[in-house]
Structure 1
């Protein structure tokens, strides 16, 4: 069969082809649910005991991982020192290419030493090729210190699979543009990371009645979202919700608990502390 060259397609045909190829990725990820579940459970148990979740990546894969990790603070109130991403080439690489950064095995090892990686932590290496030197070195060093390891790649039987405790290999096949790992590979990685981090946050009690009750009201939009969530989870009016939130300095879980169980602010905070901040354990 003669190979089709995408540059010869019209815009409509091209868009349909990209969309068709993208649709396949969700089904591929579906086949990996069980191993993703293993990864979530491992990370969840480690995090509960005080461990950190540390993504490691380079280039497009690293930026996708960084985007996921960065959301954990404003969306779920997670301490950014406990859930973060190490990017080959450092923060500069988030916005521009840092030459040969992904090949730097020593940088990966040294950065993990600098943050005092230990056995309570989980290192999640995200590498489309499954063999990026920076990611391989990160996993190898994590194994040395006894940290748990998870590898996410976009090839079958990756090199990461050989050394990571849990390997999520997603053989995506050919990209529409050869070598463009921000395409199907990027979509696959984003889907898996979405599932991984969101499931963890739900298990940790950062979601109550389908709402992100630990959202940080750092701008007008999120302040309004906080008010809306309080109204949704109680019978308060907009004004009543705003007044209660102002009283507790926009501590949404405390506000919900005060209203639903008719508690004082101090009583609600004590009860939350006793249940690791998990509203679902209190308001069953």
Structure 2
């Protein structure tokens, strides 16, 4: 009965005749409901801002970001965390996911794995959590024991805790330093929070990781200057980024990239600042990784 009262478990009035609709009618209902997600996320932005500011400060001081969830919530964490190393050249330890049932649960549901607070706490504890870290507990209902246990443990060790749910006054919010409640309303398919709720949560996780990395200096203008050029597509992207920022042709971008072990940042600083690879690295270090400042430093050093 407690679960039935949640917004995420209510029946959606617009989809009551779902089983009698044509394919296009079903698509229109889903699409109309999906349009409401961005508005719901917008309402939650002040809390998302708070979470990002704390995450930025934590990572700047050597801390880590952990997403904790079960089922779809955990899978969303895995998707976002796994994209950080190739996009921003972070270590695999910087952004991690703690998922109920272990990594195997990403591919196949592990029934009952979400039901124990103690398991969420012990799995998070195994990550050697410290007061420098941030833990984001993800649960559409806001009452899943596994991430609640993780946030309780995070508080014990002084890590910063963030809750991400889709119901007002969620239980998990009680254990968070910042509570993000994004109210997307009842699902088209009653209780199927892999739909609107999951989309809203993915949007917010994208915001947390991307904005944090921008603030850490891993973006110049709107280009990913810390891209890990580890395959053909990313190598081509790295060359295009260098060409776009510096105005050089493909061959110069290619040669410079080769001199920097395929790192975009020092390639840009070398060309824009007119310095060697070693001097570019020094400029980047002096500028705390911010390309714009590193270019200015390199140019001033050459005066």
Q: Same fold (TM over 0.5)?
A: yes
TM tier, smaller: over 0.9
**Structure 2-normalised TM-score?**
0.91
Is the Cα–Cα contact under 8 Å of residues 122 and 150 in structure 1 kept in the other structure? yes
Indicate yes or no: 2:184 matched with 1:172: yes
Equivalent pairs counted in the alignment come to 284
CA distance in 1, matches of 2:192, 2:61: 39
Query: Offset at 1:170?
Result: 1.2
Consecutive aligned runs of 4 or more in structure 1 exceeding 2 Å deviation: 1-4, 104-107, 280-284
Distance in 1 (alpha carbons) for counterparts of 2:134 and 2:222: 27
Contact 2:77-2:97 at 8 Å conserved across structures? yes
Counterpart in 1 of 2:243?
231
Q: In the alignment, what sits opposite 1:213?
A: 225
**Which whole-Å CA distance do the structure 2 matches of 1:182 and 1:283 have between them?**
45
Q: Does 1:5 align with 2:12?
A: no
Residue 71 of structure 1 is matched in structure 2 by 83
Deviations 1:70-118 (A, max 9, x none): 1111001111112111111111011111121111322222222222101
Query: 1:26 and 1:97 mapped to 2: Cα distance?
Result: 28
Tell me by how many angstroms 1:253 deviates.
0.2
Corresponding residue for residue 272 of structure 1: 284
2:210 maps to: 198
Q: 2: distance between equivalents of 1:109 and 1:4?
A: 39
**Retained in 1: the 8 A contact 2:15–2:188?**
no
* TM superposition shift of 1:32: 1.2
Kept after mapping to 2: 8 A contact 1:88/1:104: no
- Cα distance in 2 between the residues matched to 1:135 and 1:125: 5
Give 2:62's match in structure 1, choosing from 50, 53, 58.
Answer: 50
Per the TM alignment, residue 252 of structure 1 is displaced from its structure 2 partner at its CA by: 0.7
2:184 matched to 1:184? Answer: no
Alpha-carbon distance in 2 for matches of 1:116, 1:4 = 48
Q: Is the 8 A contact 1:142 1:149 kept in 2?
A: yes
Q: Which residue of 1 aligns with 2:142?
A: 130
The secondary structure found in structure 1 opposite 2:114 is: helix
Quote the Cα distance in structure 1 between the aligned partners of 2:251 and 2:209. Answer: 34
Output aligned runs, 1:142-181, within 5 Å. Answer: 142-181=154-193
Q: Compute the RMSD of aligned alpha carbons.
A: 1.3
Unaligned runs of 5+ in 1: none
SS class of match (1:63): helix
Checking the alignment, whether the CA contact within 8 Å between 2:239 and 2:254 is kept in structure 1 is yes
Residue 119 of structure 2 aligns with which residue? 107
1:78-117 to 2 correspondence within 5 Å? Answer: 78-117=90-129
**Partner residue of 1:20?**
32
Determine the structure 2 residue equivalent to 1:245.
Answer: 257
| Structure 2 unaligned spans of 5+ | 1-12, 297-303
Indicate the SS of the match to 2:240.
helix
